[in-house]
Amino acid sequence: MAACVLPLEGASAYARKVRTYGTPAREANVASGFILLLLIGILIGFGVSRVRKRMGLGVTWSTWVTTVVVVGFILLLMWVTAYKH
């Protein structure tokens, strides 16, 4: 009969997670990209609202939100088509 070798104390079948503090580089890049996307959308929304005011059309919060969402969507589509995954 073979001798039974038991693992050392504290051994586990599951790998331990190494605790890292701070934000990983990839997540930081994604977060800064989303912030930049939001700022570009707000800037273009400001321009759209100025043009609408000069044309005599009303400007509401839904105008701002729609502009920011549409600009963000278009910029994301341009980003996706620019890089081959």
Distance CA 29, CA 79 (A): 14
Distance of CA 77 to the CA centre of its chain: 14
Q: Which two tokens stand for residue 2?
A: 């073979």
Distance CA 82, CA 19 (A): 35
pLDDT of 2-61, one tens digit each? Answer: 666 655 555 566 666 666 666 677 777 778 888 888 899 999 999 999 999 999 999 999
Q: For the chain, what are the domain ranges?
A: 33-82
Tell me if the pTM is above 0.85.
Answer: no
Distance CA 70, CA 33 (A): 16
Q: Residue 72 to residues 59, 63, 78: CA-CA distances in angstroms?
A: 19, 14, 10
